[in-house]
Structure 1
Amino acid sequence: MTHLNAIAEVYAGSFRRLIVQLYAVTGDLNEAQEVVQEAFVRALSAPERFVDLENPESWLRRVAMNLAHTRHRRRRTLDRLLRRVGPPPVVPDFSPEHVALMAAMRRLPAGQRHAIALHYLVDLPVDEVARTLDVSVGTVKSRLSRGRTALAALLNGPAEFARSGSK
């Protein structure tokens, strides 16, 4: 049996049980699923050591519990900090246009999507986008131009959006 088959067997036999146990600890089903999944990811990162464990489920439980405790501590720290800062800003509901734009953005190639997000949504100048993405200014300008054209086609929007220059 390969290491991955052994991990798959442990997964099949213990995943649900671990979720139930961590759900009882965290009180949050999503949190329980995330920490158990992360424990399995860690097992997959060193499968030779994992399959040699005397009790792999116990190891997974301990890792998941430690992850849950760490995440809880970090959340508490963040909560304390946020209480000092004050209430969070009010975020308006997303308009149908915004939802359509985000759906169209997801259809763009990653390079165009990143350039458009950083330039138009984060409002970074082209040279800062280039530094952030570790590409040339010319590459950013090209991605912005192609991205605007693609977005205009995806959104069936006005042609002037596709022709508008970058900031």
Structure 2
Amino acid sequence: MPPISDVVSADHALIKKAFNGLVESDPTRPRDATEFIWTLGRFLIVEDLVVTPALEHHVARGGEAHCRVSDYDSVNAMLRHLQQLDTTEDSFEKQLNIAWDELELHLAPEVVADLERLEESMAWPDADGLGTKYERIRDLLQKPYGKEGVPDAETLAAILQTPRQELMLRIGVFG
């Protein structure tokens, strides 16, 4: 059973790889942003369903709310906007870089600060079980989309627009 910090770090690496692949592709030709948007979107969904509740339960002190850059609704809105842009336009490149700048502030410190504190605050089997739960929910979201695991644009838009509670019901996660 992997610790939660390991599985989240692996997802961070996938997000960075998808971002780099998109940035390094020829900006004068139509580019497919679906892999980056889906990799990040899937991460945000799983983080919202697994990591955020665990942090609120095990780490938050005295009602102190965690300031999380990966707020599900705001980043999801950014992803929906990014998905609708023409990848050959300068506005796409600008929005992509804005999104990445915001994410970079979140990705590295998350493992070092939040997840290490979370693992320290949980008993050993619970901390490893959280990593397994994360992987299980991530895999539920991955399965229907073929070998590469990236949905087509229409399916991706539908997933990103589905309200959190409805999405939880659809994938069989009830809290």
For normalisation by structure 1, the TM-score amounts to: 0.26
Rg comparison, structure with higher value: 1
Q: Which has the higher contact order (CA 8 A, sep 6+)?
A: 2
In terms of fraction of residues, the more helix-rich structure is 1
